[in-house]
Each structure stands twice: as structure tokens, then as C-alpha cells.
A and B are shown apart, each in its own frame.
Chain A
Amino acid sequence: MPQDMPPSGASARFSTSETFRRLASSPPLWSSAWAPSASGGFYKLGQGIREQNELAREKMWSRIHLIPLLQAEEDRDLARRHMADQAREEAADGRQLQGLQQRQVRADFPSLLWLFVRPTYAVTPANTTK
């Protein structure tokens, strides 16, 4: 069976323009248009990255100045809860159960000496609303 083929001479009618063919076949020509544009873009990119670094530094230092303040408040709250827990246990049991638990864990795992062992149980305070 004969196969359908384009009519003879069709490729000449759809050929790319002469200008485009000249551009595409000549790297110096198109790179002379492309290279300045690309280097300009990279220059702007570099500027943007540098400014972002500086903005990040500013944000970092603002946080560095605030961290001791926030941590001190949180620590006071934790110390307050811890002391209240101990006082309640002392009143209920005569012993400081959480202190015992802490010492036990520290004796069992000497490598965890840096860790404050959060108690796994607590005597519930009578007043639990603000």
C-alpha cells in the first residue's frame, strides 16, 4: 500500500526564516545578546543573596538578645511548679517522691547527668484553674 507522504516542495514553503537561521547558526551572534543579560541577572542575584544574609543576621541577633529573657521566665515557671510539687509531696507523703525518682534515674543512667528528669507522676494540686 502506498504511504502518504508530504507533497514535494512542501518543506521549502514551511522553512524557518532567513534571519532565524542565521542567528541559530552563529553562536557569537546570539551569545552577544544573551551574555550581558545573564550576567546582569547574576549580579542582581548576588546582591539579593547578600542582603538576605544581612537580614538573617539581624533577625538572628534580635533573637539572641531576647533568648535569656524568655528562658528566664520559663525557668522561673518550671522552678515554681517543681517547688510546688515537692511541697505537696512532702505534705502528703513526708518524702520528696520526684527527688527520689530523679536520683534513681541519674544513678541508673550516669550519662544523662545533664538531663532534668521530668516527673512521670504528680500529686494534683487542689486548685487547678487560673
Chain B
Amino acid sequence: MAARKPIFNQQVLVDTTPLPDSVPKVKEVGATSAPLLSASFFIGARCRPYNDDYMQCKTENPGKGELECLKEGRRVTRCAASVVDDINKHCLDEFRKHWQCLDNNNHQLWQCRKDEWKLNKCVFDNLKLEKTIPEAQGIPVHLRSKQIYAHYPALRDPGQAPFKKAVDAPGAEAPAS
């Protein structure tokens, strides 16, 4: 289905009819772009199997995946919502600082490493979710202590140690849902 909304000449048509009762209800994530970007790698770390399932379903049902893959889509949304809820529960301050920094810096991740390291540490300590960039060359960018393109060369607070890479990668564990 194309993403174009049906727009009439004189009015915008907003259909408020809910899904039929035969389809289980799911609450949407409801986060805006900056919190989603901030949490994206943790969502990927926990929900990779569900995401892959959903994308495979979409690939195998061309043209009708929107109706066939509702179940997989609900799983994807529930898993991502569980990640966002957990981050909100355990690391709310760090999370807020990071996504507000992203909002203030044009969503450029490299401007917010200081806040990102704090968030990564908190999330790894509490949720055992680790940010990994697949196929990264050399030291992954989010672990480098020097950023060529950042506005401010001082990336750490005075006395703040650089974020250490976690020794045991937790991998993609499925949540109980």
C-alpha cells in the first residue's frame, strides 16, 4: 500500500473507525523521532528477531503483507514499546538528556557522545542491552574518544571515564511477552 493519504479537494478525510474486535489491540509506541533515534540500537538489540520475522513476512507476502503480517507487526510494536518502557523506568534522566541533546543538535549523533556514553552505560548495567554497529571498521564510532566533526572537542566531563566496551555481549535476547 502506498503511503499517500486519501486527500479530497475540499476536506481531509480522517477515518476514525477502529480496527474490528477480531484483531487484538496494541498500544502504539507514540515516541517522537529523537527518543526513537536515541533508543534505536537498544530496540535493535532486543527486538532483532521480531523485526526480522516481520520483514520476512512482508517480503513473502508482496502486495498483501499489510493484512497478513498484522500479528508480526504487533509483536514488533510490543517489543519496541517494552524497550522504551524499560529505558524510561531505569534510565530516565540519561535518556532525556541524550534525546534532548539530539533534538538540539539536528539529530547528529556525534554531537552527543557524552550523554550517549552515560545512557549506554546505564542501559547496559540495568537492561543488559548493548549498542553495537555491525561491520564497523576500526574502533566503532560511538566508542572513539576523538570526534573530527563534533562542535566541541571536549567530549567528556572532567573526571568522566570513557565508556568501556562491555566484555560479554548480551546478544539479541527475546523478552518474555
Residues of A participating in the B interface, judged by any CB pair closer than 8 Å: 47-48, 50-55, 57-59, 61-69, 71-76, 78-85, 87, 113-116, 118, 122, 124-125, 127-130
Given known A65-B43, A82-B67, contact A116–B1 (CB-CB < 8 A): yes
- Name the distance in Å between A55's Cβ and chain B's nearest Cβ: 6
Given known A114-B62, A116-B2, contact A73–B142 (CB-CB < 8 A): no
Whether the Cβ atoms of B141 and A69 lie closer than 8 Å is no
Whether the Cβ atoms of A63 and B63 lie closer than 8 Å is no
- Name the distance in Å between B106's Cβ and chain A's nearest Cβ: 12
Whether the Cβ atoms of B41 and A75 lie closer than 8 Å is no
Please provide the chain B residues from 80 to 94 with a CB less than 8 Å away from any CB of chain A in the complex: 80
Enumerate 12 A-B pairs (CB-CB under 8 Å) in ascending A order. A47-B148, A53-B137, A54-B136, A57-B133, A63-B40, A65-B51, A69-B29, A72-B74, A75-B73, A76-B70, A122-B6, A125-B16
For the complex, would chain B's binding face be called helix, strand, loop or mixed by DSSP majority? Answer: loop
A-B pair number, CB within 8 angstroms: 155
Complexed CA–CA distance, A83 and B70 (Å): 13
Cβ contact of B66, chosen from A50, A62, A78, cutoff 8 A: A78
Q: B40: nearest residue on chain A (CB-CB)?
A: A62
Please provide the chain B residues from 26 to 81 with a CB less than 8 Å away from any CB of chain A in the complex: 26, 28-29, 36-37, 40-41, 43-44, 47-48, 50-51, 54-55, 58, 62-67, 69-70, 72-74, 76-77, 80
Whether the Cβ atoms of B44 and A61 lie closer than 8 Å is yes
Whether the Cβ atoms of A75 and B66 lie closer than 8 Å is yes
Q: A124: nearest residue on chain B (CB-CB)?
A: B13
- Name the distance in Å between A2's Cβ and chain B's nearest Cβ: 66
Complexed CA–CA distance, A118 and B17 (Å): 18
Whether the Cβ atoms of A55 and B110 lie closer than 8 Å is yes
Cβ contact of A68, chosen from B18, B26, B51, B63, cutoff 8 A: B51
Cβ contact of A80, chosen from B17, B72, B80, B148, cutoff 8 A: B17
